Amino acid sequence: MSFWIGVDVGGTNIVCGIVNEKGEVLDSIKKPTQAFLGTSSVLDHMAQMVLEIIDKTGLSGKVGGIGIGIPGLVNPWDGIALYSANLNWRDVPLSAELSRRTSLPVYIDNDVRMYVYGEAVYGAGQGDDYVLGLTVGTGIASASVNRGQLHYGYQNLAGEIGHGTMDGEFAPCGCGFKGCLEASASASGMVREAKRMIAEGRQSLLSEWFPGEELQNLSAADISKAMDAGDALATEIMNHAGELLGKALVPAVHLLSPQTIIIGGGGAMAKERLLTPLRRMLMSRLLPDFRQHVSIKPAVLGDDAGVIGSAMQAKQRHEID
């Protein structure tokens, strides 16, 4: 039995877990990223976490390698983190630096690809050959897994479904365009829309729960809660986001023909509140042959998906090397 380390690096926290060959997390630790301390400090910190978890589980000598998911652009094959706004990283030779600090082989990839790989092979997509996964959180991104292999595209850029332009949407997006799926249907887009509608004088439980300045603290989870309490504004926002996701998935399904679509990230927590309007819109616009075979599911692994995906990608790539 060999063991693999999965590291999920976020702007706020780093999660480091140790995973067996079956994709089961044996133990994990979570610590703040503290990107403001600088790149080499974050790298030292990551290496310490890896060594700590190996020590804690007594598996020294049995670990095959490390997989790391990074938010942003990466060159997985050279092990370079090309650009990450969250970490303020540019051209960081991550694989080489971590390998030097831990004496283990290191494989890196984009965090969404690692997350979707985990869900596709060991989570909601287990047993399915063609899986498309979306993460709906602060942003929206996607990855696809065909017969156990991730799709990368030229220059490893595949998966930017969040920046598809949506008809009738005009909200400015972080990418510089207006009307992107991500600007309207992400968790942050839903929150922004709720605040805008309340400022326009719309009645909602949300303005009772968060009066005046407190509205700053509104989260997407509160929109779910208000929807459960029968709030019309929250229901409208959730339905709209679900319908936009459904519309954006129409060309993706026709292009890729997945059998399973997994909705992950914070969007997984909205469950059927988001998935019902998404499914309704998607199914109404798919060609019949696609409609019959595609199913839409929420992610099931939670925070473990990134750790499992990273660790199991390390295993897969190590076996090919």
Please report, as ranges, the residues that interact with Zn ion according to CB under 5 A: 163, 173, 175, 177, 180
Q: What are the strands, taking DSSP E only, across 147-218?
A: 149-150
How many helices (H) and strands (E) the chain has is answered by 12, 13
* CA 18 to each of CA 28, 182, 319: distance values in angstroms, whole numbers, following the listed order: 6, 32, 18
By beta-carbon proximity to Zn ion, the closer residue of 166 and 180 is 180
CB of 158 to Zn ion, least distance (A): 16
CB of 267 to Zn ion, least distance (A): 17
Report d(CA 4, CA 13) in Å as an integer.
20
By beta-carbon proximity to Zn ion, the closer residue of 114 and 248 is 248
CB of 81 to Zn ion, least distance (A): 21
Cβ atoms of 47 and 34 within 8 Å: the answer is no
Q: What are the strands, taking DSSP E only, across 38-158?
A: 63-70, 73-75, 80-84, 89-92, 106-110, 130-136, 140-146, 149-150
CB of 141 to Zn ion, least distance (A): 11
* CA 306 to each of CA 43, 62, 89, 132, 216: distance values in angstroms, whole numbers, following the listed order: 18, 21, 20, 15, 29
Amino acid in the structure at residue 213: E
How many of the other CB atoms lie within 10 Å of CB of 78? 12
DSSP string over 173-190: -TTS-BSBHHHHHSHHHH
Cβ atoms of 239 and 232 within 8 Å: the answer is no
By beta-carbon proximity to Zn ion, the closer residue of 106 and 183 is 183
CA quadruple 69, 70, 74, 80: dihedral sign: negative
Pairing mode, if any, of strands 140-146 and 149-150?
antiparallel
CB of 29 to Zn ion, least distance (A): 34
By beta-carbon proximity to Zn ion, the closer residue of 77 and 177 is 177
By beta-carbon proximity to Zn ion, the closer residue of 42 and 173 is 173
CB of 135 to Zn ion, least distance (A): 15
CB of 51 to Zn ion, least distance (A): 39
Burial class (CB in 10 A: 0-12, 13-18, 19+), 214: exposed
By beta-carbon proximity to Zn ion, the closer residue of 163 and 315 is 163
CB of 177 to Zn ion, least distance (A): 5
